Amino acid sequence: MSLDRDTVARIAGLARIRVDADELDGLAGELNAILNWVEALNAVPTDGVEPMIAVGATRAPFRDDVVTEGDQADAVLKNAPDPVPPFFTVPKVIE
Amino acid sequence: MADLSELLALGIADARDGLRARRFTARELTSAYLAAMDEARALNLYITETPERALADADLADARLQAGHAEAMTGMPIALKDLFCTEGVRTTAASRILGDFMPPYESTVSGKLRAAGAVLLGKANQDEFAMGSSNITSAFGPSINPWRVTGAGVGEALTPGGSSGGSAAAVAAGAAIAATGTDTGGSIRQPAAYCGVVGLKPTYGRCSRWGVIAFASSLDQPGPIARSVEDAAIMLGAMAGHDPKDSTSAAQPVPDFEAALQGGVKGMCVGVPKDYRVDPMPPDVEAAWARGVEMAKAAGAEIVEVSLPMTKPALPTYYIVALAEASANLARYDGVRYGARQEGADLAEMYAATRAEGFGAEVRRRILIGTYVLSAGYYDAYYKKAQRVRALIAQDFSTAFQSVDVLLTPTAPGPAFGLNEKTEDPVAMYLNDVFTVPASLAGLPAMSVPIGLTASGLPLGLQVIGRPFDEASVLRLGRAIEDAAGFDRSPRLLAGGV
Amino acid sequence: MGQVIEGRDGPWEMVIGLETHAQVVSKAKLFSGASAEFGAAPNSHVGFLDAGMPGMLPVVNGVCVEAAVKTGIALNAAINLVSIFDRKNYFYPDLPLGYQISQFSDPIVGKGHLDIETEAGPKRIGITRLHLEQDAGKSLHDQDPLRTFIDLNRAGVGLMEIVSEPDIRSGEEAAAYVAKLREILEDLGVCDGNMEEGSLRCDVNLSLRRPGGPLGTRTEIKNINSIRFIRQAIACEAARQIEILEEGGKILQETRLFDPDIGETRAMRSKEESHDYRYFPDPDLPPLILDQTYVDQIRATMPEMRGDRRRRLERDNIPAANVEIITSSAKSMNYFTDMSENFEDKILASNIMVNEIMPRVFYRNSNPDIERLRPSEANTIINMISSGNISGRQAKEAFEFMWEEGKSAADVVAERGLAQMSDDGAIKALVDQVVAANPDKVAEYRSGKTKLIGFFVGQVMKASQGKANPQAVNALLMARLDA
Ligand SMILES: [Mg+2]
Ligand SMILES: [Zn+2]
């Protein structure tokens, strides 16, 4: 598997990271180097092996249905870049 | 009041005795460290220093000592890796994207240390979002290793390792009595080895991740970095424990790690995995490992050669798993609710600019790879495959632990390298973690303990890996090696003056 | 079946599947300790996790898990003892983590079914799955000319997403399915079913095909929040698709919004790009593992479903109109059960329920005032009626006084002197009195004008101030006059 410019651009779009056109080739080269190296894994036989999705704790613990947090709009908004309290804001979205 | 250098020479255990015996106060001890931080400023150890907070903490500690309510960590001046959220103290993850983020909450682990009376000196430098093995990805510039090649000039600065490089270097440089780190694939152990200090990654789930900025959730684990095995044991006791706020935290009792040190290693079965070798294996590393094995044997341990055939695929497995998780963990840094926003004409541009400007090159690269390996059509080939290999790696260890109590390996394939080395080729950089990632993937406790110096005068560490929740055995073997090695922990740089 | 739509050149058949999002009734959110209550001040019900703050971690709310299991059982579905929380990755300002914690490959509930009534008779709609996931926050686009405002109160509230098989063939069936599903959720008490507040909302997946032919391309109409709109949206979207298909055009697989004001669906701009959600197991959450005993316990304590209740009421010969009213909500059904406990004449009880209780206690159906007139008090009254202690008219008065004054049944009856006179001796005395006072009427009666019995009964009732038992009066009068 080899990444081309278009794929890098698509992935960058998914990740919401701006990549300028003149960076695409260099980035594709770097990512390919890593991916080629990672492909050594294909040599490991894993037929019938269950994927490991959890380490340690074997089951999700349950929380009681109790309100323990809230009424802290000030704290929640304190670090916001462009707040109009009590709201966060972003550039206008058209649905 | 005791002499400054005398105070700075004390580890946690001795400082505790001194404080309790009123030979000096927490304020005096803290002041000595604040002076040492000044002295070491050129090493760029801290992102944020908190001297006022430190003195206030010290006064609280003195009041506690006075009242007879002191705990082991009371009055201990420590550094926190800047990945631990600290209420009211800027927390950056060494990234531009967090801006001047001021957490309105305190991480569980730093909160426990605070409750135990520890003194906060500041937030230690690190790789950005803990992504790196050299500290060069920090948006605040790298920390510098206080150790230097014999006869080298100031310009030939070495990396302290990463990602907890600031923490390890601060402890080595005497600019903190101990520090917290986090370890995802070796980020406590490798910098500890490079800086000639002790670094312990506990069992996954032993220390709460709540309030610790995530890199890879299934691997991240907070742990102590300290000057001695004993200090690491004491500090781990203050950091560990079940946390209902972290679903992956283990409901396991926390033993008295300090007391466990007394057990010795007589009759302990130490496995030596022949697969822990790189090609070519540096002779210094090979020799240090052999010395460690001899020390263990001399202390009464039984040595068994074991095979861990999944060691080699562990590194690529680690990178797939860690980067996939990271790509999602770092999605929240979008400039909407906190952090440094870059303006854009519309929402899409705002997102793309914020994340392009806010993240450094290595973090961007890792997010892109993580995004790619999870994307439609590639998930099975990369992510799912890696999770299967991960299961085999864990299996490898549990098989080995049927016949041995602990494993002894080198921590890293070499000593600290130059700050400007290995920056061109990311894969070469990733290879630093080759011996540390297998235990990370399996969630096992592992510790790096200094064993001695290379021919050119740089510290090397050995790694002890244990069964899940058996940090006690890891600490015991570490202690035996430490005792036998008699490692001189004064770094050249400080010894020779900056 | 009348399911086909006659097109210009042949019939069309709709193929519809529904994804229903039901907000779980819980105090706290699915993974945080912030309140899940609706309608609070903006950003006041937001935990640090809900705001996507660094280092914050999810811990699952047991009540939400229980709700999913209950619903799964009611939908005749398989409960998966091991399920996985996955991350569904996408960027949107009201999604603070940059991913939604949901369930993808291994949901908590698997295949089941739901039976609905259609004009052609009962029909079984397959349930594909039910999974737990977080709600998103709210974007307000109309508050500022340049900015969208974000309120995260709903971010992280627990939702059950219930996905049907594409078994639905008309707007009417879709409406019946949603109504039935809402009924079940309400009966279980796991969702309040309030569609206006968004506690229950539907995505409609719709495509058209020639009857029996291959499936067409579907569109998804998102977030419809009333049963009427579901029917309308389906009609509009089907008409739009038919027009395109008959013109020889192609249907684009896309997400659309229904605008009830203009009766049209339109493509959503923000969802135009094709998504690649990159689902993977959330490493912050170990697998959700349930014990069989836990599931069995929930199964053993399931409340009676409305369909079963309906059948039970019908077995008691209660008139259909009463059944409909009494079973209209879980709370009214429960009230009726309690009220009519140990009472033989279920028809009488149902009349009292419909005429006296419903207009009072359930006048605000979503929030009935049960404390003000408790079922045990109503039970006392209907027992007084059946034992002849009070008349129907007195019962009516008693309910009015109890409701207005908040007093117990016994107190009201005693204070207002509503107890019925059923002592034969006392009534006989009144009968004698009335007969003695109306010799002419007695003569007329005895000469054959037996209809005058009504006059005599009325006089005796009046003399008793309405307290005499009318049946007893009737019997005693007949005995006296016919003697
Ligand atoms: Mg949907
Ligand atoms: Zn959904």
Q: List pLDDT tens digits, range B413-425.
A: 999 999 888 667 7
* Average confidence (pLDDT) over C90-118: 96
* In a domain? residue C455: yes
- What per-residue confidence (pLDDT) applies to C470? 76
Is there a single domain that holds both residue C397 and residue C461?
A: no
Over its C-alpha atoms, chain C yields an Rg (Å, rounded) of 31
More confident residue, C196 or B233: B233
**DSSP secondary structure letters along B200-255:** EEPPTTSS--TTBPPS-TTT-EEEEEESSHHHHHHHHHHH----TT-TT-------
- What per-residue confidence (pLDDT) applies to B262? 92
- Distance (Å) from CA C132 to ligand 2 centroid: 8
- Token pair, residue B97, equals 């994207």
Among residues B487, B486, B497, the alpha carbon closest in space to that of B459 is found at: B487
pLDDT digits (tens, 9 = 90+) for C282-321: 999 999 999 999 999 999 999 888 888 888 899 999 999 9
Instruction: Give domain limits for chain B.
Output: 4-268+405-497
Residue B117 has pLDDT above 80, yes or no: yes
Question: Percent of chain B having pLDDT more than 70?
Answer: 97
Look at C268 and A88 and tell me if their CB atoms are within 8 Å.
Answer: no
Instruction: Determine which one of B167, B187, B440, B448 is catalytic.
Output: B187
Q: How far is CA C45 from CA B53, B210, C63, C293, C337, in A?
A: 32, 20, 18, 34, 37
Q: Please list every residue in chain C whose beta carbon sits closer than 8 Å to the beta carbon of residue A91.
A: 146-148
- What per-residue confidence (pLDDT) applies to B110? 98
Among residues C59, C45, C276, C71, the alpha carbon closest in space to that of C159 is found at: C71
* Average confidence (pLDDT) over C125-142: 97
Lowest mean pLDDT among B102-106, B114-118, C104-108, C331-335: C331-335
Look at B217 and C51 and tell me if their CB atoms are within 8 Å.
Answer: no
The Cα of A61 is separated from the nearest Cα of chain C by a number of Å equal to: 7
Q: Strand, helix or coil at B133?
A: coil
pLDDT digits (tens, 9 = 90+) for B48-59: 999 999 999 999
Residues with CB under 5 A from ligand 1 (ion): C 19, 203
Chain B contact for A73 (CB, 8 A cutoff): no
Count Cβ–Cβ pairs < 8 Å, chain B vs chain C: 100
* In a domain? residue C297: no
Chain B contact for A92 (CB, 8 A cutoff): yes
- What per-residue confidence (pLDDT) applies to C269? 64
pLDDT confidence tier of residue A1, bands split at 50, 70 and 90: low
Question: Percent of chain C having pLDDT more than 90?
Answer: 62
- What per-residue confidence (pLDDT) applies to B491? 78
* Average confidence (pLDDT) over B394-409: 97
Residue C365 has pLDDT above 70, yes or no: no
Which residue from B minimizes the CA distance to A54? B218
CB B410 within 8 A of CB B276: yes
Is there a single domain that holds both residue C126 and residue C205?
A: yes
Q: How far is CA B471 from CA B222, B306, C12, C172, in A?
A: 14, 20, 69, 65
Q: Compare CB distances from C93 to A64, A84, A90 and report the shortest one's residue.
A: A90
Q: What is the dihedral of CA C196, C197, C200, C201, to 10 degrees?
A: 70
DSSP B384: I
Among residues B9, B79, B10, the alpha carbon closest in space to that of B44 is found at: B79
Among residues C466, C396, C459, C406, the alpha carbon closest in space to that of C431 is found at: C459
Question: Percent of chain B having pLDDT more than 90?
Answer: 91
Residue C1 has pLDDT above 80, yes or no: no
- Distance (Å) from CA C133 to ligand 1 centroid: 12
Q: Compare CB distances from B248 to C54, C279, C286 and report the shortest one's residue.
A: C286
* In a domain? residue C298: no
Measured from the alpha carbon of residue C131, the closest ligand is 2
Structural domain range at position C461: 424-481
Instruction: Quickly count helices (H) and strands (E) in chain B.
Output: 18, 11
Chain C contact for A60 (CB, 8 A cutoff): yes
Burial of B442 by CB count in 10 Å (0-12 exposed, 13-18 middle, 19+ buried)? buried
CB B386 within 8 A of CB B313: no
pLDDT digits (tens, 9 = 90+) for C336-358: 999 998 888 899 999 999 999 99
Q: Please list every residue in chain C whose beta carbon sits closer than 8 Å to the beta carbon of residue A78.
A: none
Which residue from C minimizes the CA distance to A63? C61
Chain B contact for A67 (CB, 8 A cutoff): no
> ipTM more than 0.90?
yes
pLDDT digits (tens, 9 = 90+) for C4-32: 888 888 899 999 999 999 999 999 999 99
Q: Please list every residue in chain A whose beta carbon sits closer than 8 Å to the beta carbon of residue B348.
A: 16
pLDDT confidence tier of residue B102, bands split at 50, 70 and 90: very high
Burial of C5 by CB count in 10 Å (0-12 exposed, 13-18 middle, 19+ buried)? middle
pLDDT digits (tens, 9 = 90+) for A40-53: 899 999 999 999 98
Beta bridge partners of C280: C87
Final residue in a domain of this structure, among C292, C314, C346:
C292
- What per-residue confidence (pLDDT) applies to B425? 77
As a whole number of angstroms, the distance between CA C146 and CA A33 comes to 43
Chain C contact for A52 (CB, 8 A cutoff): no
Is there a single domain that holds both residue C463 and residue C408?
A: no
Is there a single domain that holds both residue C283 and residue C383?
A: no
CA B176, B182, B188: angle at the middle one, nearest 5?
A: 70
* In a domain? residue C299: no
Look at C284 and B347 and tell me if their CB atoms are within 8 Å.
Answer: no
Task: Establish whether B403 is a catalytic residue.
Answer: no
Among residues B367, C101, B357, B128, the alpha carbon closest in space to that of A11 is found at: B367
Which residue from A minimizes the CA distance to C81? A59
- What per-residue confidence (pLDDT) applies to C268? 82
Q: What is the dihedral of CA A64, A67, A69, A74, to 10 degrees?
A: 160
Q: Answer whether the bond into residue C102 is a cis peptide, omega within 30°.
A: no
CB C69 within 8 A of CB C298: yes
* In a domain? residue C362: yes
As a whole number of angstroms, the distance between CA B449 and CA B469 comes to 19
pLDDT confidence tier of residue C387, bands split at 50, 70 and 90: confident
Which of 344-363 (B) contact A at CB < 8 A?
344-353, 355-356, 359
Measured from the alpha carbon of residue C158, the closest ligand is 2
pLDDT confidence tier of residue B372, bands split at 50, 70 and 90: very high
The total domain count for chain C is 3
CB C257 within 8 A of CB C221: yes
Q: Please list every residue in chain A whose beta carbon sits closer than 8 Å to the beta carbon of residue C27.
A: 65-67
- Distance (Å) from CA C81 to ligand 1 centroid: 24
Chain A contact for C281 (CB, 8 A cutoff): yes
- Distance (Å) from CA B388 to ligand 2 centroid: 29
* In a domain? residue C162: yes
pLDDT confidence tier of residue C87, bands split at 50, 70 and 90: very high
- Token pair, residue C31, equals 């993974």
Amino acid (one-letter) located at B275: D
As a whole number of angstroms, the distance between CA C340 and CA A27 comes to 76
Q: Please list every residue in chain C whose beta carbon sits closer than 8 Å to the beta carbon of residue A59.
A: 286-289
Q: Please list every residue in chain B whose beta carbon sits closer than 8 Å to the beta carbon of residue C96.
A: 332, 336-337
- What per-residue confidence (pLDDT) applies to C392? 83
pLDDT confidence tier of residue B274, bands split at 50, 70 and 90: very high
Residue C465 has pLDDT above 80, yes or no: no
Neighbours of C53 (CB within 10 A): 25
Q: Compare CB distances from A70 to C34, C64, C139 and report the shortest one's residue.
A: C34
pLDDT confidence tier of residue B495, bands split at 50, 70 and 90: very low
* Average confidence (pLDDT) over B145-156: 81
Final residue in a domain of this structure, among C244, C266, C292:
C292
Q: Please list every residue in chain C whose beta carbon sits closer than 8 Å to the beta carbon of residue A73.
A: 41-44, 46
pLDDT digits (tens, 9 = 90+) for B275-329: 999 999 999 999 999 999 999 999 999 999 999 999 999 999 999 999 999 999 9
Final residue in a domain of this structure, among C271, C292, C313:
C292
Q: Taking each helix axis as running N to C, give the angle between helix B12-20 and helix B229-239, from 0 to 180 degrees, rounded to the nearest 10.
A: 70
Is there a single domain that holds both residue C152 and residue C203?
A: yes
Mean pLDDT of chain A: 92
- What per-residue confidence (pLDDT) applies to B357? 97
pTM of the predicted structure, to 2 decimals = 0.89
Task: Establish whether B143 is a catalytic residue.
Answer: no
Is there a single domain that holds both residue C181 and residue C48?
A: yes
Is there a single domain that holds both residue C264 and residue C375?
A: no
* Average confidence (pLDDT) over C38-51: 96
Task: Establish whether B187 is a catalytic residue.
Answer: yes
Over its C-alpha atoms, chain B yields an Rg (Å, rounded) of 21
CATH top-level class of B4-268+405-497: alpha beta
* Average confidence (pLDDT) over B265-274: 97
C317: left (phi over 0), alpha (psi -120 to 50) or beta: left
pLDDT confidence tier of residue C422, bands split at 50, 70 and 90: low
- What per-residue confidence (pLDDT) applies to B496? 41
- Token pair, residue B4, equals 């400054």
Chain B contact for A21 (CB, 8 A cutoff): no
Is there a single domain that holds both residue C246 and residue C333?
A: no
Residue B412 has pLDDT above 80, yes or no: yes
As a whole number of angstroms, the distance between CA A84 and CA B65 comes to 47
Is there a single domain that holds both residue C464 and residue C406?
A: no
As a whole number of angstroms, the distance between CA C42 and CA C31 comes to 19
B76: left (phi over 0), alpha (psi -120 to 50) or beta: beta
Is there a single domain that holds both residue C193 and residue C313?
A: no
Is there a single domain that holds both residue C24 and residue C73?
A: yes
Is there a single domain that holds both residue C229 and residue C334?
A: no
